[in-house]
Amino acid sequence: MKLKPPRRDTVSEQTRRSAEHDYESGRHGGGPTSRARSRATREALGHAGRDVVSKAALAKQAKSAARRRGAGSRSAAAKKAVRTKGPGRRSVAARKAAKTRARPRKSS
């Protein structure tokens, strides 16, 4: 949003200088985000549990996120899951997938 700093007579000198500085820094775009800040943000988001949203909302978000990715990317993620899940959890996932496929589809 283009918003010039206030004129001299309207606010204190300190506020005007601060606004001028912010205006200039806003015009030049920020530098790269620091790794520490990036990690802190990711960790903070990780602390929020999955229980805060409904299962339907979570599934909808996951599905729309997957749709935005390419087929190759989805395939790579599935292959990684096979490598990292282990036989027990893979069996559970397979049963869940089979149950989902067997479920009657909703007509929209």
Q: Report pTM.
A: 0.35
Assigned domain for 108 exists: no
Assigned domain for 107 exists: no
Instruction: Scan for tokens 């960790």, then name that residue.
Output: 43
Assigned domain for 106 exists: no
Q: Say whether both 38 and 55 belong to one domain.
A: yes
Determine the structural domain holding residue 40 and report its residue range.
32-68
User: Could you give the CA distance from residue 56 to residue 62 in angstroms, rounded to a whole number?
Assistant: 10
User: Could you give the CA distance from residue 83 to residue 101 in angstroms, rounded to a whole number?
Assistant: 23
User: Could you give the CA distance from residue 12 to residue 73 in angstroms, rounded to a whole number?
Assistant: 54
Q: Say whether both 64 and 49 belong to one domain.
A: yes
Assigned domain for 56 exists: yes
Per-residue pLDDT band at 23 (split at 50, 70, 90): confident
Q: Say whether both 27 and 46 belong to one domain.
A: no
Assigned domain for 49 exists: yes
> Quick one: tokens of 65?
């996120």
Q: Say whether both 11 and 27 belong to one domain.
A: yes
Assigned domain for 27 exists: yes
Q: What are 43-97's pLDDT values in tens digits?
A: 888 887 767 788 888 889 988 998 899 999 989 988 998 899 999 999 998 999 9
Q: Which of 10-14, 16-20, 25-29 has the lowest mean pLDDT?
A: 25-29
